[in-house]
Chains A and B, each alone.
Chain A
Amino acid sequence: MSVSLSDASIYRFLWVYPALQESVERMKPVGKHSLGASGEISDFQEILRYLDELILYDNMWDDGNSLGPKEVHNYLTRVMYNRRNKFNPLWNSLVLGGVKNGQKYLGMVSMIGVHFEDNHVATGFGNHLARPILRDEWHENLSFEDGVKLLEKCMRVLLYRDRSAVNKLQIAKITEEGVTISQPYALKTFWNFAAFQNPTVGAEGSWKVTITGDSLSLPPSPTMGDSSSTVIDYGNRLDI
């Protein structure tokens, strides 16, 4: 998920796959820009190889001009679309950011070639949870620090609400000069809500349902801290 600022672009990505690997790099510098991906990591690595070759040929011209983020975004769109046409897609959602001639650029390409440019983009759950926050709070004159705070706010929401999220992330800062990607770090979170205390209270679940006479009784459910058991009386209705 990314946010673009007045003279620089920032990215932020959450790392997942805690079980498979210690850490997975989902964001890489590409020339003077930065590319991030969600989805299949092996396909992302192949895309990085294509881009390596693209940047290499661009540099070989040695003409003082280099491919801007718009051009690289267009190239990636064509690559993704052509693979989709052959019914063999690269299973990624790509985010590309960069700055050229003072113009900032932030674009996204999906695995079937749907692409667009905007002031803020996101992949996966970010579209549902983060974009609304960004639509409300993004504005043209965000400073870098404020941009980072805004992204951290979004990432925290995702951390709480996306079950596949992990508390380890990186930020990339892209300016006219180039890209710097931060070291991975964790966000501060708060889990001391009352409902999270004694998490095993409801562990028996609904398996233990006893029908005595006219009423059903279930094991106590974890309520707001009180320890009295609650019997839910459904009367004669056994079809619930």
Chain B
Amino acid sequence: MTKQQANWSPYDNNGGTCVAIAGANYCVIAADTRMSTGYSILTRDYSKICKLADKSVMASSGFQADVRALQKVLAARHLIYQHQHNKQMSCPAMAQLLSNTLYYKRFFPYYAFNVLGGLDNEGKGCVFTYDAVGSYERVGYSSQGSGSTLIMPFLDNQLKSPSPLLLPAKDAVTPLSEPEAIDLVKTCFASATERDIYTGDKLEIVVLNAAGIRSEYMELRKD
């Protein structure tokens, strides 16, 4: 008698790509708005970006139901933090919380590929990049999701990532200006859309700086 195999999977990949770039006094977080399943598009207008705190914005792609559950858990925890400490969580604190939340489900993971962007306590841009089970690192820029393999090498080239072997460690925060970084992000997505079937429709860009938060949109190819 052969062992019965599961005939359904609790996971699905709803696609999408996320990018974040840290600047000297700003942070750019971007994600496309397409949600797919298999070879079908479910909707062309679904936001993958979630504002967790005043200075922390998370973009996640992967399995949409898990992404949504993760966003809710973090939002609830942030609310409790605000009640207990009477202040907003800093971006590095939120980064640690996200890592712990992901690892909590190490043996039934959130199928979510996250990029957390924001401003640190000194007002400098910071980007944290994660895998599905919470391993994270502070970096100057990152991309996750279905188009990340197309975008990441391009960012490495354009943002001249310093070698991690350098001593003293060189800051990976880009010297580019805010408009230049936004333009770079738009270029990344326009290119990824060409070759990745799960990326496209519309690009949502969120920019965090000393003045606050603002959103921008750009149309992408719909095929």
Contacts and interface: CB of A to CB of B under 8 A. Distances in A.
B112 to A, nearest CB: 13
B10 A114 contact: no
Interface stretch (A10-18, A81-89, A141-149, A199-207): A81-89
A80 B66 CA distance: 12
Contact of A84 (B43, B64, B65): B65
A26 interface: no
Interface in A110-133: 110-118, 127-128, 131
B65 A89 contact: no
A113 B65 contact: yes
B64 A114 contact: yes
Nearest to B64: A114
B46 A114 contact: no
Contact of B40 (A85, A87, A108, A127): A127
B40 to A, nearest CB: 5
Interface residues of A, number: 19
A154 to B, nearest CB: 15
Given A84-B10, A112-B12, A118 B69 contact: no
A87 B200 CA distance: 32
Interface in B34-86: 35, 37, 40-43, 45-46, 63-65, 68-69
B35 A116 contact: yes
B14 interface: yes
Nearest to B41: A131
A128 B43 contact: no
A118 B65 contact: no
Contacts of A116: 35, 42-43, 46, 64
A16 to B, nearest CB: 20
A227 to B, nearest CB: 42
B40 A114 contact: no
Given A127-B40, A131-B40, A118 B8 contact: no
B65 A81 contact: yes
A114 B35 CA distance: 10
B65 A114 contact: yes
Contacts of B46: 116
B10 A112 contact: yes
Interface in A62-94: 77, 81, 84-85, 87, 89
B8 A89 contact: yes
A114 B8 contact: no
Contact of B65 (A87, A112, A127): A112
Interface string A86-111: 01010000000000000000001011
Interface of A: 77, 81, 84-85, 87, 89, 108, 110-118, 127-128, 131
Interface of B: 8-12, 14, 35, 37, 40-43, 45-46, 63-65, 68-69, 108
6 contacts: A85-B10, A85-B108, A112-B9, A114-B64, A117-B43, A118-B42
| Closest 10 A/B residue pairs (Cβ) | A113-B65, A118-B43, A116-B43, A127-B40, A114-B64, A114-B65, A81-B65, A84-B10, A116-B46, A116-B42
Given A112-B9, A127-B40, 6 more contacts: A87-B10, A89-B8, A113-B68, A114-B14, A114-B42, A128-B40
